[in-house]
Structure 1
């Protein structure tokens, strides 16, 4: 179920005000398909000057009348008229709440989940659905689409970059395949940037804080000729790390981001425009690592569990308190990340409708280095999978608006090429860590220098036609059907070659030896060329009814899908080390989605209350399966028979006067495996000899016990999903005159809470993350002419919490983790011109 809130507000693109929290722009709407007035997908002011600052501003999502305007359905309309669950966050609110990327955005949008152990291994989910939790596999689609000015970003790594000159962000919940180019089954994040204007405008912002935090942003826009306008924006963020690596003597988990975006608008008349845009962003952080959290007993022999293995090599973690924020990782760490591209958008008013074409190219270059054993021992000394991506998209759509019927029809083409080159090497501690003391090779260096070199590529092609119409049966009743026809084709290649410490290639040539057997247990050569292709038809239907002035009720059914995929990280092997080709592909997800909601607005007191209930049933859910060994497989995809996410969301906001506003948003999400009988087992049921035939597996966490081959986790919770999540806050202000300037002093608070969640694909007693709450405060002075100075503190009460927990390889019982940010504080100065 879904209740969402919104606060009426008014703000100009450069009216830098306090974005009184989220209520002001955290809107939860619902969407049907009203008047088809295409506004360049979210640019109702393309080519126009910025609106003048207004006294009551809640962010750039508001228009002159103080109503939140959204473009979720490819045209400008008020959020309360859209029969779809949607949260809206304006650019000023993003700045004031410190939500400068999707990770921070989740604190103010309760049903959005963001997890990132590094930019590549990042997941963005809505209502617990989207992509499998864990290691990223390029062979499947994202369930949550990220769009920036109509351009689809296929790799979720883009979510780790700073927002750049953003006007507003709309988080749409539920399937969006009949209105958006790329099919998305869980929702979409629709980001609209500020556009070039024919009146000069500019803004600058600088922030400083603890942890050597420095952030600077600037944007300038204006005319070049009467028909040509330009806009340029830059952003830079730097911050020291939050974890000290005692081995390298560096602070890791730092931030080092820079971004640049430029746009040219050619608008010879009111009916035609061309926008050329280009952007480039780069990250070069000292990242990404983890800290020791705990150990938990597995079914491995006791002398092969973490405590015994560490003692045998005279090792102990540098700290056993994860919130000391100290680690001792000994492998090189790097998270070089570059992303960018160019697009050209043509908009042409043709009779009663608008024709829009968006052509785009995007690239992604990922240069990582990791410590995959999570310890200070030279077990895995090198782990990296550099990757390069090129993506091309073309979307063409036509919007028509009539007295009783509106519609949108479109076509979308997508091509993606990803190349990855992986290297993983073992060091001098690997032999004793991976071989039993009874093995004759235990005191040798048989695994020292053992190296796997992986080569893989993916060619991903998708084409679709889609459409959605709305029939206004009466002034109160609107019926909205939509449909989509989609074709997907994926061609992949994966090769792993294995070399010993002397550089000699180890081949599967039928010869055997004790040395070769030990080495193949770590890395097995493999070569596969998986491929997948399929047609899909999906549709949805929404009925909405205006019960009374300011009251809209709606109900939606959607039959959707997520394209099938291929395993790009390798597949399991049989006893003879032959790849099990039946696991090379995964089936498409089949989605049935139901939603009902009501949106209410009380203009006399400036309040909004929205709520909705939802249920999403997925057949053949694409789950991530993690292998417990070091090199056999890092993770692969499999289909869970059935998954269900259901719940409700509620939003309330109120602004009784210009001096005060408040909001609260709540979400309850019950996301479970309905049927997954052959799932990977959690660590407490892993590591022992696999039970066969009539043998009975031992109790969980019993050293030396028999382990089940797989586990039935039906009825258990999906990873990463809190049952309860809340965001809430307020802002109060008072008029003052300061330094000969008339303005306002203000004080704001934004809080969030989420209950506990599982941090492993198969729920484990060792990887449950406790619930936590965060509190952010800000106070400052602003003027009507765009000057704003304020101080802020985030995680004000220095809450200790984990963003993720990780199961160490080898079923040794090691659990590592990524602590969330500690208390941070600083000051921000902004000025609009």
Structure 2
């Protein structure tokens, strides 16, 4: 407790605006904060307008009401449209280079992890039966599918990242934070914009938008479109095609109807499609497991006279022989009504959304016909309704709301084994290494027909209903002191079914022991329902004119869930039904903060400190058994994340803008005594009363039934991360117009992190530093042309590392983008 008290007493919380706008009285209001005058990850104060430093206030609506930026005790950072364009941060992955506390990992759109401070979605393969701890909101609509985070930003005004529990402010309970994306609204003044980018690797990106009135002062429309294409970064020597490409299309339209002076209605719809040749993970290395040596990767590959096309992943070569595809379609519509009523605003947001996922994968990660089909096409429909009222009365500001959510997911998947499966997956006894022969010759492993064509058809269904009432108020005790309590009452109900029907290559459903050990029939109907109450309390105090201090405590819950990716099997290859559900997470969260401005508000310096304890943490754990191609869910007894954050931005002189953001995050399993073991301790014979576990990496050794990973890092989060950058502008005149030349640099660093739920010596990803530069010219704030280089130092690094199932020791990875370069042209019409 002493170290926690010291941390909380000496640290402070970073809080930056979710939606910044300049007061109409501000002479600078014609020039919104942007990458030209602020940190890309934050919105800085405008240039002072007088010798006394007087200036228009920056206003925010982070808490559903308009407030002065530096008075909001909430951890938020924002990237506006200009910064997104200038830095090439056109999706959440790119945004992580600007925001150190945000983590994003994706092996394909469905299997995407978005975390804040190390918390959110369990790291690993996605399981439909649980909810993310980081909520994705677009125009106040909650997106249940985390795959939406892989979409290109479409006609976006700003992207806000809120850190920490947000259940008393937002419709869906989010225990780790929220990504709040706001599109540009229809305008009654005609406007339009066009942006075109081209670069190496066949990169082509076009964006366009137009807005204007249909009926003067009553009805306005806005239309936007974005399209991105890029060749793949990995060459498949089998198909002679580049894979891991980009092929994205997005269209959005919105109608704004000013029904009366107090009532406005916004009807919007969007369609997004991704259809790339994606996504492959390629050979990185092998590591010793406890499987018999003859059944580890080197010996198995030799038995087929097989070798990967390269043992250096950054040659970017693969030989995968299965069909690759990662097509997702996301579309929907929403109606938002806002009515000025009494002392506040009543807001209603109704939405319908559809997510359609049609994948195809090569889950053996080799050019051998081991698993020839691996796919789980899914279709989701969701409906949401939020009703919210925000207002003020005397010394009290308040917001309260009701939220309803319904989701239905239907999945019909399949896994098919190929001609190499028997030899690769089954134990043949002694093996003549380097040949295709088996001893004894009668072993099932020596008979390709045993597993060839073995098929599991998976029929999976899920229904999720969530209802909530939430509210938060701010009591202005004095002109300096404010107290802010919040509460949330939540009800969750989940039900599902999982049926895996397995038959042999001849169509028989009668399986022998070896076949059941690879693909076992399963059938179960998990369900979960529970009420919970959560809340938070914040106290803030104006220490001086431009110095705000505050402290927050939050008690939050993340709904329990059900396993819908197949269960682990017992010794008789039957599903372990006790693992069909997982408990809710119980979150205790502490934050303190200090926000300051100085040098006549030309500089902002904020610090943050946080400590979060989670009981029954929902972890996606690796399943070493062959019959379950995805990880399954388990509760870790206790997890803790704590850290410090700092943010600085300044404009020391008018032509120069600087920024720095840094985060130290200490995230670990405090207690997880029955976790699955890492690969170096897996694959051996079973532990019994008469033997003991073998040392890590002992071929043919004895593997523990589970491992105590208490004290180990949480996966996916670096202890150290920072971003920094600068832009320098030189005023000029071109073609008789006010212009400026500019040069910008953005750098980011992340230290080593674990890429496996149970940390392994084979799957740590080493730290890396990335640098991006841009140089160009702006003319009259209407034309912009610049060249850019991203990953200028051509740093080789991995986005994720993963393991081949079955404890063969094969480690595969997804190399990140190499150096890319190009030019961008933008025009306002």
TM-score by length of 2: 0.93
Residue 579 of structure 1: CA displacement?
Answer: 2.4
Give the one of 74, 84, 87 matched to 1:97. 87
Aligned to 1:236: 227
Matching residue of 2:35 = 19
1:441 aligned residue:
444
1:342-389 deviations in whole A, cap 9, x for unaligned?
A: 000010001111110000001100000000001111101111100000
Instruction: Please name the residue that 1:393 is paired with.
Output: 384
Separation in structure 1 between the aligned mates of residue 421 and residue 30 of structure 2, nearest angstrom: 58
- Structure 1 residues 221 and 632, CA gap change in structure 2 (3 angstroms): closer
Shift in CA distance, 369/108, structure 1 to aligned 2, threshold 3 Å: same
Partners of 2:252 and 2:30 lie apart in 1 by 17
Q: Deviations over 1:509-555 (max 9, x none)?
A: xxxxxxx1111110000100000000000010000000000110000
Structure 2 distance, partners of 1:501, 1:13, is 70
Partner Cα separation in structure 2 for residue 172 and residue 668 of structure 1:
17
- 1:226-249 CA-to-partner distances (Å, cap 9, x unmatched) read 211000000000000111111111
State the number of aligned residues.
795
Q: Classify the secondary structure of the residue corresponding to 1:774.
A: strand
Match of 1:194 among 175, 181, 184: 184
- In structure 2, C-alpha distance between the alignment counterparts of 1:96 and 1:720, rounded to whole Å: 27
- What is the rounded CA distance, in whole Å, between the counterparts of 2:271 and 2:31 in structure 1? 26
**1:694 CA displacement:** 4.6
Partner of 1:215: 205
Equivalent positions of 1:362-381 (< 5 A) are 362-381=353-372
In the aligned structure 1, how far is the partner of 2:545 from the partner of 2:670?
41
- 2:432 corresponds to which residue? none
For residue 497 of structure 2, the aligned residue among 493, 504, 507 is: 493
Alignment of 1:137-156 (within 5 A): 137-156=127-146
Classify the secondary structure of the residue corresponding to 1:442: helix
Aligned-pair distance for 1:14?
9.8
Distance 1:12 1:190 in 2: 26
Instruction: Give, in angstroms, the shift of residue 21 of structure 1.
Output: 8.1
Could you list the per-position Cα deviations for residues 302-326 of structure 1 after superposition, in whole angstroms to 9, with x for gaps in the alignment? 1110000000011001000011011
Quick one: structure 1 residues 17 and 56, their matched pair in 2 at CA, closer, same or farther if it must change by over 3 Å? farther
Separation of aligned partners in 1, 2:732 and 2:327: 47
Instruction: Tell me how far 1:2 sits from its aligned partner.
Output: 5.8
State how far apart, in whole Å, the 2-side matches of 1:703 and 1:574 are: 23
CA distance in structure 2 between the aligned counterparts of 1:6 and 1:474, rounded to whole angstroms: 23
SS state of the match for residue 519, structure 1? helix
- Is 1:709 matched with 2:705? yes
2:83 match: secondary structure: helix
Q: Does 1:84 align with 2:74?
A: yes
In structure 2, the residue matched to 1:783 is 779
Q: Distance in 2 between matches of 1:166 and 1:345?
A: 17
2:435 maps to none
Equivalent of residue 801 in structure 1, options 797, 800, 803: 797
Match of 2:553 among 530, 543, 557: 557
CA distance in 1, matches of 2:690, 2:644: 45
Work out the CA distance in 2 between the residues paired with 1:591 and 1:491.
24
- Correspondence for 1:523: 519
Match of 1:41 in 2: none
Contact 1:87/1:170 (8 A) holds in 2: yes
Match of 1:582 in 2: 578
Aligned mates of 1:646, 1:344 — CA distance in 2: 39
Instruction: Give structure 2 stretches of 5+ with no counterpart.
Output: 1-10, 430-439
Q: State the distance in 2 between where 1:607 and 1:521 align.
A: 63
The CA deviation string for residues 378-405 of structure 1, in whole angstroms up to 9 with x for no partner, is 1011111000000000000111212300
Deviation of 1:6 (Å): 6.3
Deviation at 1:26, TM superposition (A): 1.9
Per-residue deviation, residues 647-689 of structure 1 (Å, max 9, x unmatched): 0100011102220010000000000000000001000000101
Confirm or deny that 1:674 pairs with 2:670. yes
- Give yes or no for contact 1:532–1:585 (8 Å, CA) kept in 2: yes
1:706/1:432 Cα in 2 relative to 1: closer, same or farther (>3 Å)? same
| Bigger mean CA deviation after superposition, 241-250 or 631-640 | 631-640
Deviations 1:116-149 (A, max 9, x none): 0000000100000001100100100110011111
| Matching residue within 584, 593, 607 for 1:611 | 607
CA-based RMSD: 2.0
SS in 2 for 1:505: coil
1:403 paired with 2:426, answer no
The answer for the alignment partner of 2:437 in structure 1 is none
Distance in 1, matches of 2:534 and 2:426, equals 52
Distance, in Å, in 1 between the alignment partners of 2:302 and 2:773 is 46
Tell me the SS of whatever aligns to 1:373: coil
Deviation at 1:72, TM superposition (A): 2.1
Residue 774 (structure 1) aligned to one of 762, 767, 770: 770
1:729-778 residue CA offsets vs partner (Å, 9 max, x unmatched): 00000111234432000000000000000000000000000000000000
Instruction: State yes or no: 1:813 paired with 2:809.
Output: yes
Match of 1:453 in 2: 457
Shift of residue 574, structure 1, vs aligned partner: 2.5
Distance 2:246 2:167 in 1: 35
Distance 1:639 1:242 in 2: 37
Q: 8 Å contact 2:252–2:271 — kept in the other structure?
A: yes
Of 231, 239, 243, 1:248 maps to 239
CA contact (8 A) 1:331 1:382 kept: yes
Distance 1:676 1:471, change over 3 A: same
Correspondence 1:406-805 to 2 at 5 A: 406-438=397-429, 440-445=443-448, 446-506=450-510, 516-602=512-598, 604=600, 606-805=602-801
Cα distance in structure 1, aligned partners of 2:29 and 2:156: 10
Residue 271 of structure 1: aligned partner? 262
Residues 404 and 466 (structure 1), Cα distance of their counterparts in 2 relative to 1, 3 Å cut: same
Note if contact 1:28-1:85 (Cα within 8 Å) is conserved in structure 2: no
Please say if residues 21 and 749 of structure 1, whose CA atoms lie closer than 8 Å, have aligned partners that are also in contact. no
2:94 corresponds to 1:107: no
Following superposition of structure 1 onto structure 2, how do residues 50-65 of structure 1 map, counting pairs within 5 Å? Answer: none
Q: Is the 8 A contact 2:12 2:594 kept in 1?
A: no
CA 14–96 in structure 1, closer or farther in 2 if over 3 Å, else same: farther
Q: Match for residue 161 of structure 2?
A: 171
Q: What is the Cα deviation at residue 605 of structure 1?
A: 5.4
Measured in 1, the distance between the counterparts of 2:282 and 2:315 equals 9
Deviation at 1:270, TM superposition (A): 2.7
Cα distance in 2 for partners of 1:751, 1:20 equals 16
In structure 1, C-alpha distance between the alignment counterparts of 2:59 and 2:821, rounded to whole Å: 32
Flag the 1:652–1:6 CA change in 2: closer, same or farther, 3 A.
farther
Comparing 689-698 with 650-659, greater Cα deviation is found at 689-698
Q: 1:432-461 deviations in whole A, cap 9, x for unaligned?
A: 101223362222121111111101010000
Match of 1:48 in 2: none
In 2, Cα distance between the equivalents of 1:349 and 1:795?
48
Shift in CA distance, 209/421, structure 1 to aligned 2, threshold 3 Å: same
- Structure 1, unpaired ranges of 5+: 30-53, 58-63, 508-515
Partners of 2:503 and 2:529 in 1: how far apart?
35
CA contact (8 A) 1:14 1:203 kept: no
Answer whether contact 1:130 1:185 (CA < 8 A) is retained: yes
- SS for the counterpart of 1:285 is coil
**Higher RCO by CA contacts (8 Å cutoff, separation 6 or greater):** 1
2:628, 2:542 → 1: CA distance?
A: 58
Is the Cα contact below 8 Å between 1:21 and 1:748 reproduced in 2? Answer: no
What's the offset of the Cα at 1:65?
5.8
Instruction: Measure the CA separation in 1 of the matches of 2:646 and 2:13.
Output: 2
